[in-house]
Chains A and B, each alone.
Chain A
Amino acid sequence: MPAVLRPDPTFYPSPRLAMEAPDERYAYVALLRADKSRPDALAVVDLAPGSASYGRPVHKVELGHVGDELHHFGWNACSSMLCPLNGHPFTERRYLIVPGLRSSRLYIVDTKPEPTKAAIVKVIEPEEVVKKTGYSRPHTVHCGPEGVYISTLGGKGADGTDGVPGIFLLDCESFEVLGRWEMERGDQRLSYDFWWNIPHDYMISSEWGLPPQFENGLVAEDLLGNRYGHRLHFWDLHRRRHLQTIDLGANHQMALEVRPAHEPTKDYGFVGVVVDTTNLEASIWTWYRENGKFKAKKTAVVPPEPADPAQLPDLLKSFKAVPPLISDIDLSLDDRFLYVACWGTGELRQYDVSDPMSPRLTGSVRVGGVARHTPHPSGTAFGGGPQMVEISRDGERVYFTNSLYSTWDDQFYPGGVPGMMAMARANGGLALDRNFCVEFEPGYRSHQVRLEGGDCSTDSFCFPSA
């Protein structure tokens, strides 16, 4: 039955129903052409075991411009459509909203009738985004109550520092840019990732840095001067107002991905901090609500690993160590396992977070790494390290890619970061699947992964599993 008569079958009322859904058949992967010789692209990878092209790219959508810098992207609609106050879940999960982080251009990609025939149906030029919102450098894309929410990292002007960055709204069917989301932004000045708990009606957002702090590479003086973001912001989701700021401490530089518990009754979540400038540690923080106030606590740390300076890029030589650099975290739909990508040390960690206040390290796989360069178990050399993580809905397959951001890749991995996608199996512990190692066309780097029919960093739910 078409989705105009019944909700899209890939909308799930609760996390458990999403976990029970059929396995993913395809992944969409952002491909970045860092040498700007060709446009960036969106790859479609076959994930259906038994298929002749399993584990290989089967389609590529080239974007019409050069130098967009694809990074994150997301769906026009997802399970949040079923939220009770929405009242009208008859929009298909069909279009991928693909922003260029550097160009501020938005591509709308239609994934029907088949993912292998995905094609661009609309392009929103940077001028329109900036004119209607005053924002630039679009980053995280989430499907929610008022349509598609997109966070940005920059304001107006050539270097994006004219005005404060924030979140804007896009219509989920017409793809018109609707305007800024915030009504009252409090003391929020930096931006990065965001997510929410819809029934409890709040949003959380995090901070990376302004465009001059990342576009031409990591600025060492800004990092050592603790001038990257280190705060969390909490918002009233419907009133669009800033509620509370939590400062993690200036030494906790770059608070990136925020992952609220999927179960809507739970009032906590996690955020990864890239580096502590006092000791190069990376950390996981748990934020939670107590008596109406939000609080945050450092609940896990990953130590730096000493290394011979000869093996280190210029940026790290004087430290004689590799910082773990937690660049992405992802939480399984049952809220049980948190996967932590340590892009610097080349490690993907699995923490049991059944008790969110004391994560327990339960698994680890190593591949790539600044100093270690651990090869993939298939024998293939692996540039970069585990970076963007995406977990299958049932929690058994953990996919990841290896590139962070063009200019940062070059600083930390001067040997190059050829685009790859690997997968670890989580059937009690964690182990890399030696038969799954996607090598993308030479010249492309790989970034965010989205799974057909939803994944663990897309859908939000209004109904509990119990």
Chain B
Amino acid sequence: MGELAESLGRHAWVWSAVLALGAFHGANPAMGWLFAVSNGMQARRTRAVFAALPPIALGHFLAMAAALLPVALLGLYLERLGEIQLAAGLLVAAFGLYKLFARRHPRFLTRIGPSHLTLWSFLMATAHGAGLMLVPVILGLCAGPGAAHGGHQALLEIARGGLGLTLAAASVHTLAMVATGGALAWLVYRHLGLELLRRSWLNVDLLWAALLVAAGGVGVAAAARGFA
């Protein structure tokens, strides 16, 4: 807990980004809040809106963990954070560019039925690169004050608490995601109504892809600073 508190102070911008991206993911109807609305309307109960959220949140959390933990683990074995930051940044930016040009919805996602909500949420987040988007940000957690010029200190830090911090970040992100999605679902269910879907469902795919490219760019820039 001490590490988390310390990290919160030291990496305030990283944690803010983790939260902001959580809210952004949560606001995207493709990440599950729309299903919560439909679930509530089918059952005609507000409770049913919220009942849909835990499996969606679990799936999203698992997708985050699946993307972030390997990177954090890799950090345990590498001398310098820079290499991972650079590689991860390039990978994320490349995926973002791919999403910019191939904007079709992956078809295999339509093969998952409503009875597998956690799996659906996991695959939806993974296929859209929701976890990838956080990779460069999370690597920022591992960069302590001396890390830019002292690889060993960064290594130690990762070894000590990197995995824990990564899981904490995935949790915080998911909480922000499900809070935003849940709030939207409740607002639409209770106050705004379905007409909103027709009028205000904007295609966020472009923004999403642009954010992937930007996140990748942040990673590359951080790596460049590290090498300097």
> Interface of A with B (CB < 8 Å)?
4-7, 9, 11-14, 17, 82-90, 145-147, 171, 173, 199, 201, 236-239, 264-265, 462-464, 466
* Residue among B37, B38, B113 facing the most chain A CB atoms (10 A cut-off): B38
Q: Mark B107-134, 1 if CB is under 8 A from A, else 0.
A: 1011111110000100010000000000
Q: Mark B186-204, 1 if CB is under 8 A from A, else 0.
A: 0000000011011101110
Q: Tell me the bound Cα distance from A28 to B109 in angstroms.
A: 32
Interface of A is mostly: loop
B150 within 8 A of A: no
Chain B residue numbers with a CB within 8 Å of A6 are 199, 201-203
Contact A145 B34 (CB under 8 A): no
Contacting B115 at CB < 8 Å: which of A12, A83, A201, A464? A201
* Residue among A7, A13, A237 facing the most chain B CB atoms (10 A cut-off): A13
Contact B111 A238 (CB under 8 A): yes
B225 within 8 A of A: no
> Interface of B with A (CB < 8 Å)?
29-32, 34-35, 37-38, 41-42, 44, 104-105, 107, 109-115, 120, 124, 194-195, 197-199, 201-203, 205
- A145 CB to closest chain B CB (Å) equals 5
Least CB separation from A9: chain B residue: B198
Q: Tell me the bound Cα distance from A5 to B198 in angstroms.
A: 11
Q: Tell me the bound Cα distance from A83 to B38 in angstroms.
A: 9
Q: Tell me the bound Cα distance from A464 to B105 in angstroms.
A: 25
Contact A82 B197 (CB under 8 A): yes
Contact B198 A13 (CB under 8 A): yes
Q: Tell me the bound Cα distance from A88 to B110 in angstroms.
A: 10
- B25 CB to closest chain A CB (Å) equals 13
Contact B29 A199 (CB under 8 A): no
- A465 CB to closest chain B CB (Å) equals 9
Contact A173 B113 (CB under 8 A): no
Least CB separation from A8: chain B residue: B198
With known contacts A85-B35, A463-B41, A146–B110 Cβ distance under 8 A: yes
Contacting B29 at CB < 8 Å: which of A84, A462, A466? A84
Contact A85 B112 (CB under 8 A): yes
Contact A87 B30 (CB under 8 A): yes
Contact B197 A464 (CB under 8 A): no
Q: Tell me the bound Cα distance from A336 to B84 in angstroms.
A: 62
With known contacts A13-B198, A145-B110, A199–B38 Cβ distance under 8 A: yes
Contacting A147 at CB < 8 Å: which of B29, B107, B114, B124? B107
Contact B107 A146 (CB under 8 A): yes
